[in-house]
Chains A and B, each alone.
Chain A
């Protein structure tokens, strides 16, 4: 019953957020100089009258604004996001075929960050004020301050150009190896550098957060009780301190979902990773606004789903949440 309530509430919230984003999209197009048709046709100025006329008709530009908004929302709800000015293909299709690559990249980066970050934070907290702590704290400060695209370029220079260990760009080799396992390994090899690049920034954040939360929790009375009743130290750290210290990290991870998708644009651009981020960059170069708006919508959907997952995780980690209502 409780889970149904949670699902229902989440669905309502997700629907409202998505509706708001569609309205925001509509407003954004109107912010631009010129009318919708010229904006969607791009800045090249070479828009053909046929496209302009079709777009004006599609948006009903002669009708009052609320009617136009209603048409737009209706179109989006029926998954009709319009066509790309450049390729003449429906932008929804273009985004959908690129989405798996982005989910793979962001998912890998997120998992990496969520495992390594807290682990380093725990290590730093357990060894507080010793060498390991200082090293981890400095490393976290450093990766927190480096632009993602720069980290990516340095990785390519070091791991691909100098050492020749890992492929510098793309998702598959030009001639993919035969066999399922070999092909999966090929993708995995291509995934390492972009996922590391995107993930390290969050490793830094989670490590700092975990360290702080661990030290804060370690001083609480129930931890003293656990120690006093003679539990081994590793049990105290994992079962008593870490479990509570993880809560702010999961909450924060949920809040950061949108940020992760933004980082993906940059990482995908650096590594020519064929996801929606790279698609957004290409759309940007060609001033293909319709495609850009679709990418925005798709990434917003991804974020809402992601928030759902972190909400679920939070409930698993802390049964108190949701048990007593709010």
Chain B
């Protein structure tokens, strides 16, 4: 069965993919449908959802719907970019550990364990606070705290592949270690890493929303977490200020998780047989 056939057989994954495409459309269309700054006052404050504001307005008369559209850009951007960085760090650490083995492996794994032990969200908060809040510092913080599982996975894949014939052949023919790691072994270890990465995007979006809920978002870009955090003082009177952005986070994260599981089932058929007989 081809990859797409088995992916499409999974109803949850298909729904997830559709929702994800919709969120992507929100992000892309935001500047055209709402060609103004989402921080601008657009009318009376604290209007409930209705004619003027489809999803209501906040305490400064800002349009919640516009915020949701523009916020999708921040969530998706941070989710994807910080995952890319985390995967890069994790793959390098794990690959070096698994490929070279011995003392290098020991050192790299103790380092990984250390980062796995420390309270990751607290470290992320500290990093963003100290580096001053912004897209870059949030991406750095999230990738610094999320790479360890990737490193462990990459290490185990590299350990399994390290002594296969094609790797030994490359070593014998004098190919450099860096070339072997990235051009020979890595392509064969990529599938499980891609599956893990797809699920990490969801975690990254959740982490970003929690950071900006705490007031550590990029002060120039509206984000879903920020909208909920800023409306906390009035959330009893104006439920729409926290319900809609929260719904956006929830639906996006759920969709990504469903797609990730679909990928897992489609790319790892033998694992599926094991977990759901």
On A, residues with C-beta under 8 Å from B are: 17, 20-21, 24, 28-29, 31-33, 39, 43, 128, 141-142, 144-150, 153-154, 156-157, 161, 212, 215-216, 219, 255, 257-259, 261-263, 265-266, 269-270, 280-281, 284-285, 287, 289, 292-293, 295-296, 299-300, 302-304, 307
Contact = CB atoms under 8 A, between A and B. Distances in A.
B113 to A, nearest CB: 9
Nearest to B120: A258
26 contacts: A24-B118, A32-B130, A128-B276, A145-B254, A147-B250, A147-B253, A150-B250, A153-B228, A156-B235, A161-B236, A262-B119, A262-B125, A263-B121, A266-B210, A269-B213, A270-B232, A280-B125, A284-B125, A284-B214, A284-B215, A284-B216, A289-B130, A296-B122, A300-B122, A302-B119, A303-B117
Contacts of A157: 235-236, 239
B257 A31 contact: no
Nearest to A157: B239
Interface of B: 114, 116-127, 129-132, 202, 206, 209-210, 213-216, 225, 228-229, 232, 235-236, 239, 242-243, 246, 249-250, 253-254, 257-258, 274-277
Contact of A262 (B122, B209, B274): B122
B126 A150 contact: no
A76 B209 CA distance: 33
A122 to B, nearest CB: 16
Contact of A150 (B123, B129, B130, B249): B249
A146 B117 contact: no
Contacts of A302: 119
B47 to A, nearest CB: 19
B126 A296 contact: yes
* 8 closest A-B pairs by CB: A262-B121, A150-B246, A145-B254, A258-B119, A145-B253, A261-B119, A299-B119, A32-B130
Contact of A31 (B130, B202, B249): B130
A226 to B, nearest CB: 18
Could you say which of A153, A281, A289 has the most chain B C-beta atoms within 10 Å of its C-beta? A153
Contacts of B129: 284, 287, 289, 292
Contacts of B122: 258, 261-262, 265, 280, 295-296, 299-300
B136 to A, nearest CB: 13
B225 A147 contact: yes
A285 B215 contact: yes
Contacts of A28: 126-127, 130
Contacts of A161: 236
A24 B122 CA distance: 13
A212 B119 contact: no
Contacts of B257: 141, 144-145
Contact of B275 (A31, A212, A265, A284): A212
B119 A150 contact: no
B260 to A, nearest CB: 11
A213 to B, nearest CB: 9
Contacts of B125: 262, 265, 280, 284, 292
B206 A147 contact: yes
A215 B276 CA distance: 7
A300 to B, nearest CB: 5
A261 B117 CA distance: 11
A262 B236 contact: no
B131 A147 contact: no
Nearest to B111: A20
A23 B190 CA distance: 34
Contacts of B235: 153, 156-157
Contacts of A29: 130
Could you say which of B116, B119, B130, B258 has the most chain A C-beta atoms within 10 Å of its C-beta? B119
B149 to A, nearest CB: 9
Nearest to B205: A147
Contacts of A215: 275-277
Could you say which of A39, A145, A255 has the most chain B C-beta atoms within 10 Å of its C-beta? A145
